[in-house]
Amino acid sequence: MFPVNFYSFTKEVNSTAQPAGSGTTYQCQSNANFDIISPRLPLNIGAAANPTGLNYCKVPAWSRYYWVTRWAFEGGLWVAYCSVDPLASWKTQIGQTSAYVVRAAAASDGSIVDHMYPTKAGPAITKTAISSPWPSPSYDSGYYCVGVINKDGATEYYKMSPSKFASFCAAVFDDNWFNSNIKDSQAWMTKAIFDPMQYLSSVTWFPAIPGAGFASAVYLGYWDTGITAPKMNDSQIGYYNVMTTISVSLPSHPQAATRGAYLNSAPYTNRILDLKPFGRIAIDANAVAGESSITLEIVLDYITGIGILRILRGSDSAPLATQQAQVGLPVQVSQVLRDYFGGALNVASSAVGAVGSLLTGNIAGAIQGGLSAIGGAVETAMPDVTTSGHNGGFAALYGSWFLVSTFYQIANEDQAHRGRPLCQVRQLNTLPGYQLCTDTDIQIPCTRAEMDAIRSYLEGGYYYE
């Protein structure tokens, strides 16, 4: 005979929970052979006892808990047919085991992607405004970067406001400026063959040009235009110049705070930047899942007008994407050669006379025309138009800058019964509630059948209670 403690006890089959107290104690009357894994326990308690409301028991002598699988009344005895509960029987040893816990209800790592729950239809879309570095573009705003070949034969670049650039153009093509620089008696000839356009290497309009050097006289070849403008310094011309940096906050997935930061990564979050004129740029959501911001670094080449956008991670400036676009707009300038020689010189009539003399064989007449004949030849080219560069457009610069974040939300969870990803080696008794383990190394002095059952429970999901 040995005592058996019976209970009316409710719990999950895959739980380590044990009943409290000693329950109802009956004496087992069996002298027959039995199996401690699935024992048959006859009880001499009389027919009227009716223990069928008791569904659980403990045999202290064996240090094991059992489920009562069925009751029977045999030969005047109540008989409890039982099956061992290995999780409750070896709870202490299981709790002292360290194992790799894949999922747990009590602890989790929110950065691990959890595909347990499906996404809902209809994503939430957030549009975050970004302050554009470009003012409203027009030729009345911004600045011109003007490349001029100076008296040393080198090209210098000057920053000019629209009004300064207009003054420069007016000065270059003004008769007074020309007459003040050309002193000899053949000024008309010099002016006829002098083309200011050949000294303009480029004219590029930018919506903004931060900083510049000291104001300097602008020379057009050998001649001083009388215009002063800030000369672009070496840091702006010598290499790509960082025009500005812009910090952009990244809105978080609306469920990330409660369900896990992994929702800020793909496929639950998509992020697209819309930045004129660089276009629409997709950002790898996985690369910025743990970031609160990104940095936009805008680099301009003031000679070509090319702009380079570098998108950097906010925490460590790691590059995410690079995009190139035409930010500086090339500006076409031209000189329409006019009849500088009318009036007193009457070059046109002299030219006609000179050509007529040549055609009739009157060489002396042609020679007598002298320089007038040459001037007439120059005048025949007057309809030509000399241009530098080509015109760009403002359309690509128009429009607001913004970040579009698309968030796909996930279905409601059952953390108590499914847990969340943990993926750490933990001592199991430190994680109450649901656990799912893998590759469990069990060191428990139990039977092989119990060990297999314990491993199956731990790796299939169980409750440490």
Torsion, CA 434, CA 439, CA 442, CA 447, rounded to 10 = 100
Tabulate helix, strand, coil % of the chain (nearest 5).
Answer: 25, 35, 40
Q: Give residue 396's pLDDT.
A: 74
Which stretch of DSSP H or E encloses residue 80?
strand 77-84
Token couple for 451: 């060990």
pLDDT tops 50 at residue 216: yes
Q: Which of 125, 415, 410, 418 is nearest to 263 (CA)?
A: 410
Q: What is the 3-state secondary structure (H, E, C) of 207-253?
A: CCCCCCCCEEEEEECCEEEEEEEEECCHHHHCCCEEEEEEEEECCCC
Q: Give residue 135's pLDDT.
A: 74
Rounded Cα distance, 293 and 407, in Å:
17
Q: What is the band of 212 on the pLDDT scale with cuts at 50, 70, 90?
A: low
Q: Give residue 242's pLDDT.
A: 73
Rounded Cα distance, 12 and 67, in Å:
11
Summarize the confidence of residues 366-389 as an average pLDDT.
34
Which residue do the tokens 């406001």 mark? Answer: 161
Token couple for 40: 């048959």
> What is the tens place of the pLDDT at every residue in 296-319?
999 888 888 888 999 999 999 999
pLDDT tops 90 at residue 185: no
Token couple for 226: 């009388």
pLDDT tops 90 at residue 211: no
Q: Which of 215, 164, 173, 214 is nearest to 194 (CA)?
A: 173
> What is the tens place of the pLDDT at every residue in 409-430?
999 999 999 999 999 999 999 9
Summarize the confidence of residues 433-451 as an average pLDDT.
94
pLDDT tops 90 at residue 281: yes
Summarize the confidence of residues 78-95 as an average pLDDT.
97
**pTM recorded for the entire structure:** 0.72
CB 343 within 8 A of CB 293: no
Q: How confident is the prediction for the chain on average, in pLDDT?
A: 81
pLDDT tops 50 at residue 50: yes
Summarize the confidence of residues 375-400 as an average pLDDT.
48
Summarize the confidence of residues 48-75 as an average pLDDT.
94
Q: What is the band of 370 on the pLDDT scale with cuts at 50, 70, 90?
A: very low
Which is more confidently placed, 403 or 187? 403
Q: Give residue 405's pLDDT.
A: 96
Q: What is the band of 138 on the pLDDT scale with cuts at 50, 70, 90?
A: low
- With a pLDDT cut of 90, the percent of the chain lying above it is 51
Q: What is the band of 241 on the pLDDT scale with cuts at 50, 70, 90?
A: low
Of the candidate ranges 79-83, 254-258, 300-304, 410-414, the one whose mean pLDDT is the lowest? 300-304
Which is more confidently placed, 305 or 96? 96
Sign of CA dihedral 213, 215, 219, 220: positive
pLDDT tops 50 at residue 389: no
Q: Which of 13, 8, 12 is nearest to 56 (CA)?
A: 8
Sign of CA dihedral 196, 170, 238, 241: negative
Distance of CA 208 to CAs 211, 216, 243, 309, Å?
A: 10, 20, 9, 15
> What is the tens place of the pLDDT at every residue in 351-368?
333 333 333 333 233 333
